[in-house]
């Protein structure tokens, strides 16, 4: 069970999973994990445990966070930008978080363990004469894709597949808490996530 400040987060109607990208990382103060024994409080959904994401509340001022990571191998670089602004008073506190994330794709051919994924169904393909069992690679088949044992033209899916996509994401979340009286407390939350994912590949030269 995944909670945000003690409240259930919406789940996907098909998979039942919670999209944690809805919560900007810069807005998170801490994460509480309850491994078991929470079903009496939260119901049967909590049999496997509870994850409660706590966001910042009593934050005042402005904070900027910039992170950049570049893998040793080609592709997969990541940039994260976060901006947090908060006001805190005697009765009112509000925290607004803006986040931007940009991930570059990782093509299968750029990693040794995924670069070669051979299939005997090649392009342009193979043929055999009627009444024979010997395969012949199409004359246009690149020499490096001809199987020396079977003579067939193979197809390397690793040249055209992507392990991780290009991802560009913008997130906004605002939490407002107002204590009207000792018996009445009001709160509101506004969240927005815009995500663009591209599984584009670039064939090897």
pLDDT tens column, 153-185: 888 888 888 898 999 999 999 989 898 888 898
Mean pLDDT across 143-155: 85
Task: Identify the pLDDT of residue 1.
Answer: 82
Model pTM?
0.72
pLDDT in tens, 179-203: 888 889 898 888 888 989 887 655 5
Task: Identify the pLDDT of residue 168.
Answer: 93
Task: Tell me the β-bridge partners of 117.
Answer: none
- Whether pLDDT at 204 is above 60: no
Q: How far apart are alpha carbons 43 and 49 in whole angstroms?
A: 11
Q: How far apart are alpha carbons 116 and 160 in whole angstroms?
A: 11
- Match 């018996």 to its residue by tokens: 183
Query: CB under 8 Å to 172, separation ≥6 — which residues?
Result: 24, 96, 97, 98, 99, 190, 191, 192, 193
């Amino acid at each position: 069970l995944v909670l945000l400040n003690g409240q259930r987060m919406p789940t996907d109607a098909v998979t039942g999973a919670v999209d944690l990208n809805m919560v900007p990382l810069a807005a998170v103060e801490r994460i509480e994990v309850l491994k078991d024994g929470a079903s009496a409080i939260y119901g049967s959904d909590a049999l496997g445990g509870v994850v409660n994401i706590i966001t910042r509340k009593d934050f005042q001022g402005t904070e900027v966070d910039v992170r950049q990571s570049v893998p040793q191998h080609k592709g997969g670089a990541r940039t994260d930008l976060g901006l947090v602004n908060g006001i805190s008073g005697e009765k009112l506190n509000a925290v607004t978080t803006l986040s931007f994330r940009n991930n570059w794709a990782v093509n299968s051919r750029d990693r040794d363990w995924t670069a070669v994924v051979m299939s005997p169904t090649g392009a342009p393909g193979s043929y055999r004469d009627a009444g024979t069992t010997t395969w012949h690679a199409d004359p246009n088949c690149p020499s490096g894709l001809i199987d020396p044992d079977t003579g067939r033209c193979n197809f390397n899916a690793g040249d055209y597949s992507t392990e991780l996509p290009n991802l560009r994401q913008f997130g906004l979340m605002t939490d407002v808490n107002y204590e009207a009286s000792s018996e009445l407390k009001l709160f509101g939350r506004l969240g927005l996530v815009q995500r663009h994912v591209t599984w584009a590949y670039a064939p090897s030269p």
